[in-house]
Structure 1
């Protein structure tokens, strides 16, 4: 039901507002503010655990936080990230881990990768588990990608992302997250594939947007081991709390800004 409601919004031209969420209090607040999708992201490794990346997040972490979010939001679509090591090597193992997340309260699972993960996506979808693909910059591959870098800038790189998007759409995924890709590329993908796209650093023309809630509030200052004064927010981040009076107002302003297409602006895109 929640997924069909989301698809109806997309088909009617309404933009989708998505935020990361890790606990019941924020889940309840976000639901009241009209957030369409709550993402229990493996970004919790950075914003909750203080790590430099998402690589040490476990299935136990993800199921714990998924249960917490589900307890606070009874009427909002919840997507849970599949952490590194939980889906890459074996489709049956991926299914068992995805099922664990669904039983913990998620309505959909998300994992990183394109064509090489299509068989896994298809395996899950055929067994009744909705899947969200994640293309462009993929945080679990940060070491292979050489750091936090824009993807799809070259013709070859853009073609690969387009091919991956089409392959994952054909595999039956329900959503595709496009992270840190040129806005023109994200626009082309959104207009040509049959699956809604959620952008982060990918321009205003995606079907919707996602931010990490700590970024939205301007309170994330990098890993615990680094000096906060040296931290610089990514280009796609906007501090919504700065110009509002409360966390509730900041989240509501984010939702309205996504819906009326004023966020992301050009300065938040590549």
Structure 2
């Protein structure tokens, strides 16, 4: 596991993607700071009208804006590359020559992508807090319920939002691992994961398919706003975790079923 993390976090591509994630709140804060017109409460994306009042909302707003596309895009690159990338480089059979079982290799690859997700979500929130503190006032945070909390507790809730987002990505990571076992072309696997994410989000917005919504892995993605209430509402986090673990079980099993019978020629 340590060797996998070392390989991942010594790649220039990994740091480039983390830098791109950090740019989301930075560009958002700069755009808001340079705009003379101030938004009325409720105008624009959620939380955007609060950014100028308290810089700590920069991270929350950036997370909401990144969740539908940009965050899944960067994470799909990592998820799709897990097995297909090794096969494409011709290093997969050398990994399996070592005393490492195929199941263990899949687990290590999955945990590696999960580690990247943790670092990516924390990077976004930390970058948002820093640029928000530089450009806007920072003080006690007024929650969506109207209650006011102090900065240390607000930072704790930012960490919970990052955790919630990581949980939200677990199902997509498992899907990416499965698709990655089907091909030796990393770009194809990445595209498949991203398309699945887009289709799931589209279906989740169709009222005619309301019976299906709670089964879609993207359904709870934006419900972390419940963390910004007093008392904190964690029921959506629990439902999200159960749903994502279901996807991990299903697509993890499919990935193992495919990978355990796959002829490794490269």
Q: Same fold by TM-score, threshold 0.5 exceeded? A: no
Greater helix share, 1 or 2? 2
TM-score normalised by length of structure 1: 0.27
Greater strand share, 1 or 2? 1
TM-score normalised by length of structure 2: 0.28
- Higher Cα radius of gyration: 2
